[in-house]
Structure formats: C-alpha cells, structure tokens
Chains A and B, each alone.
Chain A
C-alpha cells in the first residue's frame, strides 16, 4: 500500500514535466508574440528589444524553459504582462469567485443526480425511465451557450427575478450567483443522471446481485445496500476528475454574468497573449488534476486491494 502510494506519487513528476513542456512549447514557440500584442501598432525595433529583454524572451529557449521549471518548483509564476499583478494575487482573488460559482451546484448536483439516477434505475423499463430518457436527451441537445443566453434573457432581463450580471463578495453576492447555479444544474442533470443510471444498471447485472437475490435479499435492500455501495467507485471516478476544473469555473458563465473568476482571467489572458498567467494557471490546474487522480487511486487501492496489485 505504501509502496503503491510512493510509486504513484513519483509518477506525478514525469506527467507534470510533460505538461510543462507542452505548455511551454504551445505558448513560447508557436503562440502569438506577446511583445507585439502588448506594443500594438506603435512598436519600434528598440521598444520590442527592450520589452523582450524585460520579459526574458531574448534568452535562449532552453534557458527560458529552465526558468519556467524553477517557477513551477517555487510556485512563483511572476507577474502578468498585461496588468503587472503577481499571478499568485490574481489567483487568490479569482479562485473564491470561481469556487462560489461552481462548488455549490457541483455538490447539490452530485446528490441530486445520483439520487435521480438511482430512482430511474429502480424503475428501469417503466414509463418514468422512458420519459426521463427522452427529456434528458432533449436537454442535452441544446447548446450550453443557448442556455446561458436564454436563461439570462428570460429570468433576469424579462422577469427581473435575478440581477443580469455582476459580483459582490460575501452574502450579498448570492443574488448574482443563483442564476448561474440554476444553469449549471440544468446543464449537468442530463449527462450526469444518464451516466449514473448506466452505472447502477451495470451493477445490477453483477454476480453478487444474483447471489443476493438468490439468498432472498429484498429488491430495495439490494439496490440501496449492495448496489449503491459498489457503484460508489465509478461514481467517485466520474465526479472527482471534474474537481480541479471547478477552480477554472464555468468560463462562459463567468463571461456572461461578469464574474471575475479564474475562467474569465484565463480567457482575458488568452486574448492578450498574457503568457505568465496562462502558463501559471495551466500548471496549477494540471497539478490539481494530478493530485486528485492520485487521491482517487489511493482511495481505491485502500478500499479494493485488487487495485494495488496490478
């Protein structure tokens, strides 16, 4: 178990090194030239050279890459080309906004959608199953962008039930977050419930279910006692990998509702060729992702001894 944990922990390094190389090559060698973006039309050869020197872009590539690795190791990604702010400050300001946008509907959605999936799996083959399948496929067939535009127009602009956009920290900010939460839940209910239904139905075909039935366990006990417990592994896998991306927020929603979160930060950075911000955010998200994957795997190995043997 310990050996397995250490092995998995060490494996994070080559993956993160790969991410660093990918991010570096995407933005330092092939992306738009940030110096030209920053100086615009009035660039002169001298001003370009000055700015390149200031940002360290006149160094050879291998040197720039080594600097980037040092930044990753020290969690110090430098300052934004655009605003001159430190990335750590920008991240600290944006992360609470993004999390308050995505975390509550993520938790509510997890409970709600797993329950709905279980309910529909219980009534498999009935009219409820068929009706909900048709409804959820319908919900999944509308563009995410159309949901945002439609809900914002009808519920905020026409009905005036919610403010159209804006953000305030603290409890007053709740009014701005309710509508994005609703959209998040509406968009996720279709794919999630269908996924969980499939997970539960896969389990009901397993040998242990037949054994349980054979020894006379009631259908209810079987579903809630046996199947739910076993289905937790795929459910945890499916939902946990989304966790690091919660910090990224739902960037489209942050745009439409003027929420100053990480997703909005990233889109702005993309538009401005703001490399320190982009590289820093990507590395932080990749680290978060690797850590979560690692944690999930360790939890599995702990719950299910067969995992660590392979």
Chain B
C-alpha cells in the first residue's frame, strides 16, 4: 500500500515537471513568495516614502517605473508591499480553512449518524448565509485589517472542502482496506488519519491551491468595502483608488496592479489545474 502511494505522488511530480508551462508557473509563484519573504524580513523598500511629485508618470528608474501615486509614493514599491499582503493572505486562509474542512469532513463521512447530521447541519447553515455578510460581521468583532479578513475567510472557506472530503470518506469507509485494518484492531482515528486520509488528501491539495487565489481576489473586494487592509499596502486599496484616478487620466497604478495580480493568479490557476490532472485518480489512466 505504502509503495503504491509513493508511486502515485512520484508519478504526479514527474508529470508536473514534464510540462514546461506548469514549471514556469511554479517559478512565477516562487518569485512572488520571495517578494513576500523579503517583505516579512523588512527588506523591501519603504512604500510610504515620497520619491517624486504627486502623480508622476512612469519613467526610467526602478522606483518610478510605474510612476507615483497622489502622495508622490512609488507605485512599484506599493505593489511590492501589496504582494506581501496578498501572499500572506493567500497562505493563511487555506491554513485555517483546510484543517477545519478536512477534519469535519472526515469525521462526518466516517462516523455517519448523529455526528454527520450535526456537521451537515452546520455547513448547511453557513452556506445559506451570504458569504460577504459573515466576513463583514467577523471583521466587526476582530477590528478591520489583515487578521480579521484572514480569520473571516478561513472560517467560511472550509465548507466546500468539507463537502468534498465527507463524500470521499463515505465512499472509502466500507472499502476492503478500511475493514481489513479494523479487523487487525486499528482504532477509528488510525483508520481515518493513517489509512483513509492519504487516499483522499489530493482533494484538499487541489482545493487549497484554488483557495489561495480565491483569497487574494476576495481581499481586493473586502478592502474596497472598507473591511480589509487599512494601511494602504494592498492591491485592493490600489484598485479601489483607481476608480477616481482614471478620470484624471492617471492609469499607471491600475495597469501596474492588474498585471501584478494577473501573473500570480494565472500561475495559481494553471498549477491548480495541473495538480488536479496529476492527482485525481479518476483522471489517471
């Protein structure tokens, strides 16, 4: 069993590495993560600093490559600071949502009965309430900002994954290998986490990869609604500001942000698809 599992992962890895487009996308994501890491270490240039006049158009130097904003701050530096924010949110949200979704889905699907009824009830309730309302309510409690939107998106984002994992566990719990390990005296938790989970974890990996980009895109909208990042170091703030700037003919901040977002979201989309192709047993020949 262990040998076959390893070969599935190794085969998936080989399959991903063979596709040049996917490798390029991994490199793009790695670059964005590197920027985020530099930001966390405090090595990015200070985006608050004035580098020119208000709304200087783009020019040759690195700081002025995409011009300046209303306060004369470098748009490039702001985008880099926004990259840090976006990547952090993209990593923290799945880190909250995936463990909740997997655990509840596994417990519900495996045990069935009352446990399952409760878990199904719980996610039915959450999915009946408009997503945006829960997120905004949570950010009222925790105060506006990074922490609030991460927790909010994390505590709402597990529902879809929970459904999928639950469905997989229902399929797997009566399979021969699960019955066999029960006969050999394995406890419920061992069967869930040692035996069944490795067979369904690909669902979580695929969902997590899509959640990263979902979180980055949601941050923009939440920031526009005024519950997101407050200090301006976010792509959402920059896009919201662009609405007023375009009318004055100031287009460079918007172009800069849209492209910065475009590359990383595109790469994440491609990687998500490639992971599904490589890991979903249904698609394997």
Q: Are A26 and B137 also in contact (CB < 8 A) when A137-B270, A141-B261, A150-B254 are?
A: yes
Tell whether B185 is near chain A: CB-to-CB under 8 Å.
no
CB proximity of A189 to chain B, nearest CB, Å: 15
Q: Are A32 and B140 also in contact (CB < 8 A) when A15-B124, A146-B258, A290-B128 are?
A: yes
CB proximity to A under 8 Å, residues B131-169: 132-134, 136-138, 140-141
For residue B263, which residue of chain A has the nearest CB? A141
Number of A-B contacts (CB under 8 A): 111
- As a 0/1 sequence over residues 118 to 138 of chain B, the CB contacts with chain A under 8 angstroms (1 = contact) are 000110111111101110111
Q: Are A137 and B266 also in contact (CB < 8 A) when A142-B258, A142-B261, A282-B130 are?
A: yes
Contacting chain A: which of B1-9, B191-199, B237-245? B237-245
For residue B137, which residue of chain A has the nearest CB? A26
Tell whether B269 is near chain A: CB-to-CB under 8 Å.
yes
Contacting chain A: which of B43-51, B52-60, B171-179, B218-226? B218-226
Tell whether B265 is near chain A: CB-to-CB under 8 Å.
yes
Interface centre among B124, B128, B134, B137 (most CB of A within 10 A): B128
Tell whether A144 is near chain B: CB-to-CB under 8 Å.
yes
Q: Are A19 and B239 also in contact (CB < 8 A) when A145-B221, A248-B130, A267-B225 are?
A: no
B137 close to A30 (CB less than 8 A): yes
Tell whether B183 is near chain A: CB-to-CB under 8 Å.
no
Q: Are A26 and B243 also in contact (CB < 8 A) when A19-B125, A19-B128, A142-B261 are?
A: no
Q: Which chain B residues border A150 with CB–CB below 8 Å? A: 254, 258
Question: Which bucket holds chain B's interface residue count?
Answer: 35 or more
Q: Which chain A residues border B236 with CB–CB below 8 Å? A: 145
A18 close to B125 (CB less than 8 A): yes
- As a 0/1 sequence over residues 211 to 249 of chain B, the CB contacts with chain A under 8 angstroms (1 = contact) are 000000100110011100000000110011011001100
Cα of A142 to Cα of B221 in the assembled complex, Å: 12
Q: Which chain B residues border A111 with CB–CB below 8 Å? A: none
A15 close to B217 (CB less than 8 A): no
Q: Which chain A residues border B254 with CB–CB below 8 Å? A: 146, 149-150
Q: Which chain A residues border B134 with CB–CB below 8 Å? A: 22, 26
A282 close to B270 (CB less than 8 A): no
A144 close to B262 (CB less than 8 A): no
Q: Are A153 and B221 also in contact (CB < 8 A) when A23-B129, A30-B137, A145-B240 are?
A: no
Cα of A104 to Cα of B136 in the assembled complex, Å: 29
Q: Which chain A residues border B136 with CB–CB below 8 Å? A: 270
For residue B240, which residue of chain A has the nearest CB? A145
Q: Which chain B residues border A267 with CB–CB below 8 Å? A: 225
Tell whether A14 is near chain B: CB-to-CB under 8 Å.
yes
B137 close to A245 (CB less than 8 A): no
Q: Are A149 and B265 also in contact (CB < 8 A) when A31-B137, A142-B258, A289-B128 are?
A: no
**Neighbour of A282 across the interface among B122, B129, B140, B269, CB < 8 A:** B129
Count the A residues whose beta carbon is within 8 Å of the partner chain — how many?
A: 43
A27 close to B266 (CB less than 8 A): no
CB proximity to B under 8 Å, residues A189-238: 202, 205
A27 close to B137 (CB less than 8 A): yes
CB proximity of B209 to chain A, nearest CB, Å: 13
A245 close to B130 (CB less than 8 A): yes
Q: Which chain A residues border B124 with CB–CB below 8 Å? A: 15, 18, 290
For residue A285, which residue of chain B has the nearest CB? B130
For residue A14, which residue of chain B has the nearest CB? B121
Q: Which chain B residues border A270 with CB–CB below 8 Å? A: 133, 136, 225
Q: Which chain B residues border A266 with CB–CB below 8 Å? A: 130, 133
Q: Are A15 and B128 also in contact (CB < 8 A) when A143-B217, A252-B221 are?
A: yes
Extra 8 A-B pairs, beta carbons < 8 Å, given A137-B273, A157-B246, A289-B128: A14-B121, A18-B121, A26-B138, A140-B269, A141-B266, A149-B246, A150-B254, A252-B221
Please, could you name 25 A-B residue pairs with CB atoms under 8 Å apart, sorted by A?
A15-B121, A16-B128, A18-B124, A19-B128, A19-B129, A26-B137, A31-B141, A138-B266, A140-B265, A141-B262, A141-B266, A141-B269, A143-B261, A144-B221, A145-B224, A146-B220, A149-B243, A150-B258, A153-B246, A157-B247, A248-B130, A266-B133, A285-B129, A289-B128, A290-B124
Listed from nearest, the 4 A-B pairs whose CB atoms lie closest are: A18-B125, A141-B265, A26-B137, A286-B128
